[in-house]
Amino acid sequence: MNILVTRPSPSGDELVTRLCALGYTAWGFPLIEFSPGHELAQLPQQLAALSPGDLVFVLSQHVMHYAQPCMQRAGLTWPASLDYYAIGRSTALALHRASGQNVVWPPERETSETLLQLPTLRRLKGKKALILRGNGGRELLGATLAQRGADVRFLECYQRCEKFYHGPSEGKRWRDRGIDTLVVTSGEMLQQLHRLFPAIDREEWLLGCRLLVVSERLATLAQELGWSDIKVADGADNDALMRALQTT
């Protein structure tokens, strides 16, 4: 099994290192990179505008990579009076380490759908909800919280930027290395990977690779794009991806 890991650094680099340490053949091919979000400087002000019992949602570890230094520069700590939620285990741990606060996350699946099933999020009339995320992304969480009565606000803490690669050259490189397994952790990156390579590389190689994704939603998208050998990991963190690759 020759594995191509497309998730960005540092998580992608960590996964490749762990795989190689176990004897797998793996390479990193990050499809996106990150920079501070346009609204990051507003974070202290937005947190201060919340009342006790209001909600803060952190949608990725990358949020904390930028949010915590912003709070430190402002000489502030995360308010203990707020209720904190994270999309998954790794993000919850990052938020807890930074804030010292209790963080709720859905243990079953690291998706907006499972997060929204938490009993404490069923009735939100009179609550404010601050969603910390990157640029763009899915609107399901915010839309559903608003339907349940919350006053929802988004804050762009980081930006995802597509990395430029020369498709024909990369297609030759990875085909020559015998890549047969792809690790993709977002729909954005899956679509980027699909359009990056020339049609002949897609048809003769890319779509024939085994594909590891992190949700049923991504698996459905992959099928629509033409993949057939698809496995869904039981989470989006590297531990879950390692488990899935070891049983592939």
Greater pLDDT, 218 or 110: 218
Domain ranges of the chain: 2-31+163-227+240-246, 35-161
Residue 95 burial (10 A CB sphere; 0-12, 13-18, 19+) = buried
pLDDT at 201 over 80: yes
Q: What is the pTM of this model?
A: 0.76
> Which pLDDT does position 108 carry in this prediction?
78
Assigned architecture for domain 2-31+163-227+240-246: 3-Layer(aba) Sandwich (3.40)
Mean confidence (pLDDT) of the chain: 95
- Mean pLDDT, range 135-164, rounded to an integer: 93
Assigned architecture for domain 35-161: 3-Layer(aba) Sandwich (3.40)
- Mean pLDDT, range 195-206, rounded to an integer: 96
pLDDT at 27 over 90: yes
